[in-house]
């Protein structure tokens, strides 16, 4: 796994959840300094930290580690993927229906 991509993914998820580093690190049980170091790609998280990051976002570690392999993705797509990953299954279904209606709309 590319550590820089993980750092960007972590920041993208945190921003999509509207959390400060302090809020997110509290949810994870980690220090704000460590969280920030991982986001800046200065520190490398261990397995326990990965579980803590996932806990903060209420997701599984595999979902946390899902990084789109497409290089140079538009910023809006990255933000959208982060938001989708934060959704509960029920909210994801609703989002799918809404996006399908938007996609099908022909003015």
Whether 106 has a pLDDT exceeding 60, the answer reads: yes
Contact indicator for 28, 56 with CB cutoff of 8 Å: yes
What is 3-104's CATH number?
Answer: 1.10.260.40
- Rounded CA Rg of the chain: 15
pTM above threshold 0.75 = no
For 9-34, what is each residue's pLDDT tens digit? 999 899 989 999 999 999 999 999 99
For 57-87, what is each residue's pLDDT tens digit? 999 999 899 876 555 567 777 788 888 889 9
């Amino acid at each position: 796994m590319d550590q820089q991509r993980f750092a960007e993914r972590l920041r993208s998820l945190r921003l999509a959840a509207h959390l400060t580093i302090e809020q997110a690190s509290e949810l994870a049980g980690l220090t704000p300094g460590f969280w920030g170091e991982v986001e800046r790609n200065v520190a490398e998280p261990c397995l326990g930290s990965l579980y803590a990051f996932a806990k903060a976002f209420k997701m599984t570690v595999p979902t946390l580690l899902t990084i789109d392999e497409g290089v140079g993705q538009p910023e809006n797509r990255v933000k959208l993927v982060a938001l989708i990953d934060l959704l509960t299954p029920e909210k994801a279904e609703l989002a799918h229906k809404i996006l399908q209606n938007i996609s099908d709309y022909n003015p």
